[in-house]
Amino acid sequence: MDNSLLLNSIAKHVTLDEHEEQMLLSILHYKKAKRKQFVLEEGDISSKIIFVTSGCLRSYAVDKNGTEHVLQFAPAGWWITDMRSYITAEPARLNIDAIDDSEYIFINKSDFEELNLKVPKFERFNRIIGQNAIATYQHRQIDNAIFAAMERYANFCQLYPSLIKTLPQKQVASYIGVTPEFLSKMLNTQIVK
């Protein structure tokens, strides 16, 4: 199994010794998800934290009309979970599924919490990536509050240039918060290149 992405991402923030790395590796689980396959379903308890190693997952919520609203895309190197459900063991509001055939590592809650207690460097790593995630959520929220659809699209293109090439347009529409029809119209009417 390929742990290099995960280990590299950790190494950017802390330096684990042989023993600490071993403890981490011992609790990793590996799984694959085919395109469209669920990794977490709304209503389930999310008792794991997921790190994508290949392909692309996404999280989304469904409104009362059945329309999907994408919260996050997670290509290789990204973490994804329903955090409230993870913390409180309440049913998840998010679905997580695979956009492409994907592989991911997951860590069970009990293992994750134990490792944080035993390996302060891991706790440190998680504190830091937690702060980064908060920064990302804050910015996303600001963007949604102050920008119109076209600007949010431009933003997305700039922020995720690799995703824009591979994602179906309707997924991007869902992420920026418009219908696929409106995004199509927007892109083919306004001359924005």
Question: What residues make contact with a copy of itself under the rule CB under 8 A?
Answer: 61-64, 69, 71, 82-84, 86-88, 93-94, 116-117, 120, 123-124, 126-127, 130-135, 137-142, 144-147, 177
Packed helices 149-159 and 180-189: angle between N→C axes, nearest 10 degrees: 90
User: Which residues are CB-neighbours of 76 under 8 A, at least 6 positions away?
Assistant: 5, 52, 53, 54, 55, 56
Q: Is 38 in the site for DNA (CB under 7 A)?
A: no
Phi, psi for 136 (deg, rounded to 5): -65, -45
Stretch that binds DNA, among 2-10, 81-89, 113-121, 179-187 (CB under 7 A): 179-187
In the bound state with a copy of itself, the residue whose beta carbon lies nearer, of 45 and 83, is 83
Q: Which of DNA, a copy of itself, none does residue 178 bind to, with CB < 5 to 8 Å depending on kind?
A: DNA
168 binds DNA (CB under 7 A): yes
Closest to 73 (Cα-Cα) out of 48, 42, 91, 94? 94
Shortest Å, Cβ 106 to DNA: 25
- Residues 188 and 65: their CA atoms lie apart, in Å, by 27
